Amino acid sequence: MPKHTSDTTSAPRTSSSEPPEISPIPAPNDTLVSEKDVKNLDVLGSVPQPAHELLASTSHPKKKGVWSWLWDSLDYTPQERRMLLKLDSTLLTFGAIGMFIKFLDTNNITNAYVSGMQEALDMKGNEYNYVVTSWTVGYIIGQLPSALLLNHFRPHIWIPFQEIGWTVFTFALAGAKNWQTLAGLRFIVGLFEAGYWPALYWLLGSWYDKRELGKRSALLQLAVQVAPMFSGYLQIAANNGLNGVGGLDGWRWLFIVNGIISFPLATLAFFFLPDDPARTGTLVFTKEELELAKNRNIAAGRAEATPWTWRKAWSILKSWEAIAFIFYSTMSIVIQSSLIFWLKKQPAVYSSTQVNALPTLTNGVVAIFLLVFGWLSDGPFKGRRWPIIVFSAIVAIDVALLYVPLYGKASARLPLYIFSATGSAITPLVFAWMNELCASDSEKRAFIVAGANTMKYITTTWFPNVFFQQKHQPDVPNGIKASAIVGGFCIINILVILYISSTKSRRQKADDESITRVVEEPTDAVP
């Protein structure tokens, strides 16, 4: 019998009495769908079934026990549980502490202003507003450039670099001699802080899957709620213990103390903060753990970074995800709290101590809702974000409508004010959803997270000045009604996102099943 040549077109056919040769089933390393092919597929969290089968040996169980609702990795394999423990101990820990410090440094200007800075720098009129606005301008300008650089500078370098940058200029604030210097330094602080929050959310979305991401995002955002309260306590400590030390006022020491807190964390992050799985070294993680993380990303349809091009930037700008989520962030207005003004209007009911203490309850309530929403979304809702987002928007609308008429029984109205900011508790879930729906394009994830955060800051800059003017507080019915109307549009927008993403996911699933059928169908051709 003649030998078969490598040219299949000239190979003789086998006789009917001989069964055709069948190629052996590929070994685990011979994937039917390559990693490169998976990354290039435009998917929403799914890859062709053959790739899933090949990843099964390193994937955690699909069926979750009740205990996994408390903490997801309880049902995982020991190897995956160990990898996630390292990830939580580095990325989540450094991220949460860094977020706390960032918002501590963001809010310290207000505490310094009411603790002697106004008199020391002879600030008059709107000069304080100019200082606050300068930070906001820097923060808005720096968002998108940081997102563009994030994929091409390793995160363990880029993120601490930003933190060291704002730390240096926070130190410099202690030496400001006039409000102009203060404004210039605050602008630079805003530039350095701009990319920090989006970068951490992008990095979370580079590692955690949809049964893990909600609660981690909530824990990260929890630091945002806690930081403003601690900033006031730090100022009290600086005034009482450091005022006059070294010839410096207490408000100047506040900036120095903030810088001292920031610098060590940024230095440690250079060594221990992980990059995304494709670029992380083996200082903390073993090679096997990094391979597991990469396999998890393949199973989630999550792509690695690719070079930026003008064509890619344009395709991201016109993508439905960018339009939908950035539009949502433009409308996601949290009702501006009028609580402190409402309390001050009733001196016969609330004492001066209560006027200062009761508003902090809002931060505590939001913190509780952050954790509850994150755990429910990852657990009983199995990674679905939209039900909780819609529920929170409905609650916010109801609270807003109950605000009018303004005055009633004080004990009945106080809870409305305390719960008025609960809409901000869904922020982690919204950004987790962004990460998941844009998983197949790393640059799109980075751009949309930063773009949405930018638009949110822009909107919250002008919206209060139009609808919640301080001279009318707490009697701001137009602002309350406007917030309720915008909340309705937010619900519509979320449902549109749900419809588009679900439709696309179903189509992708059908395509994956077609690929599987083609691969599994026997062929009469002789190899």
Which residue is it, tokens 């509780």?
Answer: 368
Instruction: Evaluate if residue 42 carries a pLDDT over 50.
Output: no
For 11, which DSSP code? P
- What would the DSSP string read from start to end of 399-410? HHHHT-SS-S-H
What is the rounded average pLDDT of the residues 316-327? 93
Radius of gyration of the chain (CA): 27
- The pLDDT tens digits for 56-115 are 444 455 456 667 777 888 888 999 999 999 999 999 999 999 988 888 888 788 778 878
User: What's the distance, CA 58 to chain centroid?
Assistant: 27
pLDDT at 288 over 90: yes
pLDDT at 6: 38
Q: Mean per-residue pLDDT for 276-302?
A: 90
Q: What is the DSSP string of 323-373?
A: HHHHHHHHH-PPPPP-HHHHHHT-TTTS-HHHHHHTTHHHHHHHHHHHHHH
More confident residue, 518 or 207: 207
Q: What does the alpha-carbon distance between residue 89 and residue 91 come to, in Å, rounded to a whole number? A: 6
pLDDT in tens, 7-38: 433 343 333 344 444 444 444 444 444 444 44
- pLDDT of 405 strictly over 80: no
The mean-pLDDT minimum among 143-147, 160-164, 522-526 falls in 522-526
The average pLDDT across 395-411 equals 67
Q: Which of 418, 427, 85, 483 is nearest to 222 (CA)?
A: 427
Least confidently predicted of 156-160, 353-357, 505-509: 353-357
pLDDT for res 517: 66
Pick left, alpha or beta for residue 59 (phi over 0 → left; psi -120 to 50 → alpha; otherwise beta).
beta
Largest CA distance in the chain: 108
Q: What is the pLDDT of residue 52?
A: 41
Average pLDDT for the chain = 80
In contact, 44 and 501? CB cutoff 8 Å: yes
Structure confidence by residue, pLDDT tens digits, 231-271: 767 767 777 788 888 888 888 998 998 889 888 988 999 98
pLDDT in tens, 447-485: 999 999 999 888 887 888 788 877 787 778 888 888 888
* 175 compared with 39, residue with greater pLDDT: 175
Residue 325 has pLDDT above 90, yes or no: yes
Of 515, 396, 374, the residue nearest 49 (C-alpha): 515
